[in-house]
Chains A and B, each alone.
Chain A
Amino acid sequence: METNLTSSAFKELAAAASGIMNPAVDDWRSRGGKVVGYFCSHVPTEVLMAAGILPFRMRGTGSTGTELSDAYFSSINCSFPRHTFNQALKGEYDFLDGLLCISSCDHVRRVYDNWKQNLPTPFIRIMSLPKKVGDPQVAWYREEIQILRDELGKHFGVEISDDRLREAIALRNQTRRLQRQLYELRKREHPPISGAETLAVMVAGSSIPAEPYNQLLRTLLDDLAQSNGSREYRARLMVVGSELDDPEYLDIIEGQGGLVVTDSICYGTRTMWVDVDETAADPVGALARYYIQERPSCPRMNGDQARRSQFLQDLIREFQVDGVIGERMLFCDFWCAEHYMNKVDLKEVGIPFLQLDREYILSGKGQLRTRIQAFLETMGR
């Protein structure tokens, strides 16, 4: 990733995003801390935090192949779980004390079944995430979170009191606020941080304990407060899509002059644009409402497409976006249809839209550059 940032806080964050294991996790574990991996941003990580556990979002970063996971997955499966599971089979995730899965999508949910049969991770669970966003679904998810809380408590021998839950929510919300502040800087005409750099910071957020992370973020915000970006760009872009955790992908886009100023991706605004309600008397209920109804949704959640579309348009206005790139992983059914609808919606409001298919591990850089360049030229920039 191309970067001119000299901030040491940024360097530490970028390093955490560039691999799986990082010094902060090492340090956490050496002091007896437990780590539980999780898939999907709908998992209520606050509950893990309340149990004193470090939630670690699963990635296949650094994977060079799927030779091991090919025995379980097929060529028509998404490359994200294939590479991530492959890394696990190679031992890269042996440090986990548990794995928390969720019924997110057809590909990733099968990591649970295959992992259970093939790896000795002690605590493996899968949560049932509703597919709709109504009140009965909030009630169901509230129960799911409660069950998780009980099971975690029992297995790890901790009491997850309401107070501890509230503290965890507050801490997590702090992270969200700081991340939003970071995004605020990108509203400027010359943002001091690029899309690629921001993604590195966001990915680091799910790989480092919250307190040190928040501290690093505060330092980074200080470092950036006075600087102005010097990067030349042709257009301000927004990236919309799913499990994008590789800053180099955005780096290539930005290398063509398309500055990524905002997004709606799994590691982006959807995880932090809204806070969990800290004033609610029932923290479990607050979490359920947040994850089902209040946070910006993704196409996994049915019946919410109009709200998602509006969310995109709000971001476009706030960040003065010139064009939208809709990326999706090959074989992803959710984003295939979602971008199909995004294309129509954005055309109606006159926003240029380019759809890109990709694999989890970056390949075809030349092809990507050509498409981005052509897109910018088509936008007349």
Chain B
Amino acid sequence: MLVGGCDVGSTTGKAVILDGTSIVSHFIVPSTTHPERTARMAMDEAIKGAGLASLTDLTYVVGTGYGRLKVPFANENVSEITCHARGAHWLNPAVRTVVDIGGQDCKVMSLDKNGKVLEFAMNDRCAAGTGRFFEAMARVLGCGLEGISSLENQGTNPATISSQCSVFAESEVVTLINEGLDLPNIVAGINNSVANRIFAMVRRVGLAKELAMTGGCSKNEGLAKALEKKLGVDVTLLPQDPQIAGAVGAALIAGEKASSS
């Protein structure tokens, strides 16, 4: 039985097709200004990738993400909090804490042994600690997201960026550049400041190993390293692209709904 999950975020749209217990295909597209268009694009590509003829081959589809209400072909929608937790847990059943850093929000969930969410903390009122923040920083540094993410680029003497607001943090970084600070140290400072934000949220829901990162920003190795240092635990890797964890979770829920009906 084939089911689908579609995670429509602010920066990217993700679609996953599951066949029982394995991922048949997945696809990530850049988001357009219309969530329904993004959803269609992602799902169409996933369907193509699975060698299927059309959407109708899917028994059930669950939509999630900020655009979840606008997934026209979804049978229902589930919050991204539940989906990311389920997805991460399915990908690695040892996971008990999930840190999801998306395009314009970040959240932390604590899970029980079945992947069910126990508690969650969310920051969706400001850009600090989200993909937007990293994009802005990458622009200011002129180094691209790769430059901020790759491990080789992390300085050993991270600059302190104290601004709570990402807009002011940008000015702070410009000042640091003008003062001639080493780029790697600025980069490490940026990742540190996000790690600090996440740290507070993790401690609020309670840190339990294993901890996994999902969402687009989880591919930022520098951030993962900074978070590991701050939390004192390793970030456990997921066997698939962590960015699709939400769509995976959605697909899993779709599977459950399809079986029970």
Contact = CB atoms under 8 A, between A and B. Distances in A.
The answer to A–B direct touch (Cβ < 8 A) is yes
Interface in B73-96: 78-82
B66 interface: yes
Category for how many chain B residues contact A:
10 to 19
B79 A374 contact: yes
B116 interface: yes
Contacts of B113: none
A378 B82 contact: yes
B124 A377 contact: no
Nearest to A363: B125
A377 B83 CA distance: 10
B124 A374 contact: no
Nearest to B122: A371
B124 A370 contact: yes
A201 to B, nearest CB: 29
Interface residues of A, number: 10
A183 B122 CA distance: 33
B66 A366 contact: yes
Q: State the majority secondary structure of interface residues on A.
A: helix
B190 interface: no
B117 A377 contact: yes
Contacts of B119: 378
B26 to A, nearest CB: 23
B116 A378 contact: yes
Contacts of B82: 374, 377-378
A370 B81 CA distance: 8
Interface in A354-381: 364, 366-367, 370-371, 373-374, 377-378, 380
A364 B66 CA distance: 12
Contacts of A367: 122, 124-125
A366 B116 CA distance: 23
Contacts of A373: 78-79
B159 to A, nearest CB: 28
Contact of B120 (A364, A378, A380): A378
Contacts of B66: 366, 370
B80 A370 contact: yes
Contact of A377 (B79, B122, B125): B79
Q: Which of B78, B79, B117, B120 gathers the greatest number of chain A CB atoms within 10 Å?
A: B79
Given A366-B66, A367-B125, A374 B116 contact: no
A378 B111 CA distance: 10
Interface string B45-87: 0000000000000000000001000000000001111100000
B165 interface: no
Contacts of A380: 116
A380 B125 CA distance: 26
A364 B79 contact: no
B118 interface: yes
B85 to A, nearest CB: 9
A107 B125 CA distance: 23
Interface in A322-381: 364, 366-367, 370-371, 373-374, 377-378, 380
B88 to A, nearest CB: 15
A377 B124 CA distance: 19
Contacts of B125: 364, 367
Contacts of B118: 378
A371 B78 CA distance: 11
B245 to A, nearest CB: 15
Interface string B111-151: 00000111110101100000000000000000000000000
Nearest to A359: B125
B83 to A, nearest CB: 9
A370 B116 contact: no
A329 to B, nearest CB: 14
Q: Which of A367, A370, A380 gathers the greatest number of chain B CB atoms within 10 Å?
A: A370
A79 B66 CA distance: 27
A370 B120 CA distance: 12
A328 to B, nearest CB: 15
B256 to A, nearest CB: 13
A361 B118 CA distance: 30
Contact of B117 (A366, A370, A374): A374
A126 B125 CA distance: 36
Contacts of A371: 122
B240 to A, nearest CB: 23
Contacts of B122: 367, 370-371
Nearest to A366: B66
A366 B79 CA distance: 11
A374 B125 CA distance: 17
A348 B118 CA distance: 15
10 contacts: A364-B124, A364-B125, A367-B122, A370-B80, A370-B124, A374-B82, A374-B117, A377-B78, A378-B82, A380-B116
Q: Across the A-B interface, give the 7 residue pairs with the lowest CB-CB distance, nearest first.
A: A374-B81, A374-B79, A373-B79, A377-B82, A378-B117, A367-B124, A370-B79
Interface of A: 364, 366-367, 370-371, 373-374, 377-378, 380
Interface of B: 66, 78-82, 116-120, 122, 124-125
Given A377-B82, A378-B81, A378-B120, 13 more contacts: A364-B124, A367-B122, A367-B124, A367-B125, A370-B66, A370-B80, A370-B124, A371-B122, A374-B120, A377-B79, A377-B81, A378-B116, A380-B116
